[in-house]
Amino acid sequence: MNNPKIKWVWNSVLDEILGEELVEGVNVKNIKTGDITTMDINGVFVFIGSVPNTDFLQGKVGLDKWGYILTNDKMETDIPGVYAVGDARVKYLRQVVTAAADGAIAAVVAEKYLEGHVEGRVTPEDLQKLNK
């Protein structure tokens, strides 16, 4: 919050990114007043939030206290044949590139599972230990 390189804009949404080939600015809309403010900037990083949308999984697969899905490094949950990938699972870095890697891993592991090549199935207890 005290970093002078970051300007916090509250109660607002990104309305438009300005510029032809490079970012030259943004229009930001205040959701309370409807006012649009133009900001001169040369880059945009949109932070959507950090609350996983996993309420529908409560009681179905293992979740941590924040609602992130517990998995091992093969993307296995505590339910055989059920995998979780991307930003909804417990992990250190939540970026598109890591979500894509999760998907690739889960696809290979799921294929092996469907072919009957299950190696060392993870238990719910193992997942709890892995994700503390």
Domains of the chain with CATH codes: 1-47 (3.50.50.60), 55-130 (3.50.50.60)
The band of 120, judged by pLDDT with boundaries at 50, 70 and 90, is low
Average pLDDT over residues 90-109: 92
Assess whether pLDDT exceeds 90 at residue 127. no
55-95: pLDDT as tens digits: 999 999 999 999 999 999 999 999 989 999 999 999 988 88
1-48: pLDDT as tens digits: 899 988 888 999 999 999 999 999 999 999 999 999 999 999 887 777
Handedness of CA 132, 101, 97, 84 (dihedral sign): negative
Q: Where are the beta strands (DSSP E) in 3-127?
A: 12-18, 25-30, 36-40
